Chain A
Amino acid sequence: MKYFIIIIMSTQLFSQGEWLPGTANTLPQGRWEYGVFQPVRWGQSEDREISFYKLTALLMPGVAVKQRWVQRYDWTVSSSHSVYYPTPLLKMVTKEGIGGMISPEFDIPNMVSLWNMVLASKQIDQDKIFTAKAGIAIALGGSDLAMESTIDLPLIYHRLAVYYNSWLLRFGSDMNGRLSNKWTYLVDGDLFIIPGMKGSFALEHKGMVTWEKSSRFHISLGYKMVYGQYPDGYPNENITRTHILPMIDFVWGR
């Protein structure tokens, strides 16, 4: 169950176009991409991309829109706006017995979060794109959520923190590049800052290599490293932990 939740929550990793081509660029109009874990992405127009999650469509409904605003010289600037409704998923794991990640003594209210991010990508040379991003997430409806009901696990704690804290900040950078005709790579870093809350930051780093069989099918393999602060008690308020998790995805496009 722990890994199921991590998988579901980690699909949010891809929400702001982090995965190849996780840049400020949007998909070409009419193109669809869908992976096992990453969201379904659709080039709605030449400068707008819409994405949503298959795995969490029922348990944590959400949708993201990436709008390209500027494309000049080597620079592309976009903004991404996402909305999520995590209540059904959290209610599902609030239970007695196996699979209970949250104690049934806690009530899960109706909550919604809005994630907004600005992305700026620069073509370094023919094979490399660097992307910087900054954003803010806000949540509504979480004021009645008991602080003791947090799920204190990597990837999950700092993403759900927005519902407990009402807001958080997120910064990141990506480097996408090509190793050869069929191989590409992605190296990224993300910083979550949750001011005023125990466990107030997480630094996440991802490394992935992708084999492009064709423009219709990719396989990605890599790892995610999380260096995060988590709530602690006496004698320390916080404790930092490091986790490394494997990542794999299969992506189809048309």
Chain B
Amino acid sequence: MHRTKQLLYLLLITLFSCEPLVTTFEDTEDAVLYEAKTFTTIPNPDNALIILSWNIRFGIGRLPFFGDSCGDRTVMTEKEVLDALELIAAEIDAIDPDIILFQEVDRESKRTQYIDQVQWLLDHTDMNYAAYASMWKAQTIPSDGIGRIDAGNVVMTRHEIESAERIQLPLRTDQDALTKMFYLRRNILKAKIAIPDQDNFYAVAVHATAFATDDTKQKHIDKFKDVLDEMAAAGDVFVAGGDLNSVPPGAETDFCDEDACEEDVFHTDSDGGPHLEGSYFENFDTEPTLLQPLYDTYNPAIQLSAAVGVDHNTHSTSENRFWDRKLDYIFTNKNVASGSGTTHQGLFQETIHLSDHAPVSCVIILE
């Protein structure tokens, strides 16, 4: 009997796992909160806040990552990542925002030498607080040498974050079970920020699916708008945005030619397909106008009439090609200061090298 008990205890210990192979998430759960190593003075908002949204491509600049840009690398060196982060921090300092909505930030990833980029950016800019919500977390991704991964969305601000919530977005339905298990779990990150004289001020960061060929993107945008609508109905104030991986209504929808790598095969069928994943924005009927409800309901950093122009493109898959489509947006239920909406395209040798997305900023009026 004694021996049986010993064996049972042994079995329990054996089955105990300290950390899941792949982390899954509840529909809603608390986000991870951060503070800077040293605080900078919190400025008086002076009736206005500068908001910045930026997909920083996990701090690798334009290095040829295998997952995009026809690249052939998976793991960057520490120096490469730190050099890229230095340039990103310099750009942030130049824009001087009060709140940043980041996408694609790594913190415990083999590909970026395990640098906690949330903490690094807090400690190397004037930002004081951050909230983090992972969209891809696994002990190891047994493919292409990716290894350990933890990447996600971040809200970063000079002002204190009172609470933050990670809201799960629907998973893709166009993948096999194994791929789906190890694939991204995208989310909306909603952070309540203590802005003086504002009772319920929220910053919301989102990164919608890029490569889905089903209607997952529709679900992501719908959910994003639902979250904003709920806040608006409750009388809350918000700034929201991120990489929506959608072009503005009226913009070009087919970038297969521009994005094709040497051996890509596409546009071979009579109906025009197949298309390159992530390069085609008409996978379902309503995809080209996916963002219209957001434009109809809330105030954008860049008005729709301007958003379809080349001056506000925010993405290109190669640094050898200037920004050629707009994927990044900011919306708010406050007023945007006239003319403040800016797409920081830089000169050809500037932001084009910092990420495959350009930063977008605006000033919102608190009243």
B69 at the interface (CB under 8 A from A): no
B114 at the interface (CB under 8 A from A): yes
* A207 to B148 CA separation, bound complex (whole angstroms): 28
Are A241 and B72 in contact, CB atoms less than 8 angstroms apart? no
Nearest-neighbour CB distance to chain B for A1, whole angstroms, equals 4
A132 at the interface (CB under 8 A from B): no
Report chain B residues within 8 Å CB of A239. Answer: 114
A144 at the interface (CB under 8 A from B): no
Report chain B residues within 8 Å CB of A242. Answer: 18
A217 at the interface (CB under 8 A from B): no
Are B113 and A233 in contact, CB atoms less than 8 angstroms apart? yes
Are A97 and B144 in contact, CB atoms less than 8 angstroms apart? yes
B-contact 0/1 string along A99-110, CB 8 Å cutoff: 111111110000
Report chain A residues within 8 Å CB of B148. Answer: 152
A43 at the interface (CB under 8 A from B): no
B120 at the interface (CB under 8 A from A): yes
Are B144 and A104 in contact, CB atoms less than 8 angstroms apart? yes
B312 at the interface (CB under 8 A from A): no
Are B14 and A223 in contact, CB atoms less than 8 angstroms apart? yes
Nearest-neighbour CB distance to chain A for B13, whole angstroms, equals 6
A-contact 0/1 string along B331-365, CB 8 Å cutoff: 00000000000000000000000000000000000
B210 at the interface (CB under 8 A from A): no
Nearest-neighbour CB distance to chain A for B263, whole angstroms, equals 13
B-contact 0/1 string along A59-75, CB 8 Å cutoff: 00000000000000000
A244 at the interface (CB under 8 A from B): yes
B308 at the interface (CB under 8 A from A): no
Contacts A2-B140, A223-B14, A244-B18 given: A233-B75 contact, CB under 8 Å? no
* A1 to B141 CA separation, bound complex (whole angstroms): 10
Nearest-neighbour CB distance to chain B for A254, whole angstroms, equals 28
* A149 to B114 CA separation, bound complex (whole angstroms): 13
| Residues from 1 to 25 in B contacting A, C-beta threshold 8 Å | 3, 6-7, 10, 13-19, 21
Are B3 and A183 in contact, CB atoms less than 8 angstroms apart? yes
Residue in contact with B110 in the complex, picked from A106, A152, A179, A235, CB distance below 8 Å: A152
Interface-centre pick from B14, B73, B113, B148 (highest chain A CB count, 10 A)? B14
B293 at the interface (CB under 8 A from A): no
* A222 to B14 CA separation, bound complex (whole angstroms): 7
Are B75 and A103 in contact, CB atoms less than 8 angstroms apart? yes
User: Which A-chain residue is minimally distant from B64 (CB atoms)?
Assistant: A105
Interface-centre pick from B3, B6, B74, B81 (highest chain A CB count, 10 A)? B74
Contacts A103-B74, A148-B113, A233-B78 given: A244-B145 contact, CB under 8 Å? no
Residue in contact with B140 in the complex, picked from A97, A106, A153, A233, CB distance below 8 Å: A153
Report chain A residues within 8 Å CB of B139. Answer: 153
Interface-centre pick from B73, B110, B114 (highest chain A CB count, 10 A)? B114
Report chain B residues within 8 Å CB of A1. Answer: 142
| Residues from 163 to 200 in B contacting A, C-beta threshold 8 Å | 178
A82 at the interface (CB under 8 A from B): no
Nearest-neighbour CB distance to chain A for B354, whole angstroms, equals 18
Are A246 and B142 in contact, CB atoms less than 8 angstroms apart? no
Report chain B residues within 8 Å CB of A246. Answer: 14-15
B-contact 0/1 string along A7-46, CB 8 Å cutoff: 0000000000000000000000000000000000000000
Are B18 and A149 in contact, CB atoms less than 8 angstroms apart? no
Nearest-neighbour CB distance to chain A for B117, whole angstroms, equals 8
User: Which B-chain residue is minimally distant from A238 (CB atoms)?
Assistant: B114
Nearest-neighbour CB distance to chain A for B11, whole angstroms, equals 8
Nearest-neighbour CB distance to chain A for B226, whole angstroms, equals 36
Report chain B residues within 8 Å CB of A235. Answer: 37, 116, 119-120, 123
Are B116 and A148 in contact, CB atoms less than 8 angstroms apart? no
Are A98 and B75 in contact, CB atoms less than 8 angstroms apart? no
* A183 to B142 CA separation, bound complex (whole angstroms): 38
* A221 to B11 CA separation, bound complex (whole angstroms): 9
Are A209 and B10 in contact, CB atoms less than 8 angstroms apart? yes
* A102 to B114 CA separation, bound complex (whole angstroms): 16
* A237 to B82 CA separation, bound complex (whole angstroms): 14
Are B143 and A98 in contact, CB atoms less than 8 angstroms apart? yes
Nearest-neighbour CB distance to chain B for A218, whole angstroms, equals 16
B77 at the interface (CB under 8 A from A): yes
A-contact 0/1 string along B72-109, CB 8 Å cutoff: 11111110011000000000000000000000000010
B115 at the interface (CB under 8 A from A): yes
Are B144 and A234 in contact, CB atoms less than 8 angstroms apart? no
Nearest-neighbour CB distance to chain A for B280, whole angstroms, equals 23
A-B contact pairs, 24 of them (CB 8 A): A1-B142, A96-B66, A97-B143, A98-B143, A101-B145, A103-B73, A104-B74, A104-B144, A106-B145, A149-B145, A152-B140, A152-B147, A153-B140, A209-B7, A209-B10, A233-B112, A234-B116, A234-B120, A235-B120, A243-B18, A244-B13, A244-B17, A244-B18, A246-B14
Counting from the closest, the 6 A-B pairs by CB-CB distance are A103-B145, A233-B115, A103-B74, A233-B114, A1-B142, A223-B14
Known: A221-B10, A234-B120. 17 other contacts (CB 8 A): A97-B143, A98-B143, A99-B142, A99-B143, A100-B143, A100-B146, A101-B147, A103-B73, A103-B75, A105-B73, A149-B145, A153-B139, A232-B114, A234-B116, A241-B18, A244-B17, A246-B15
What residues of chain A have their CB less than 8 Å away from a CB belonging to chain B? 1-2, 94-106, 148-149, 151-153, 179-180, 183, 207, 209, 221-223, 231-235, 239, 241-244, 246
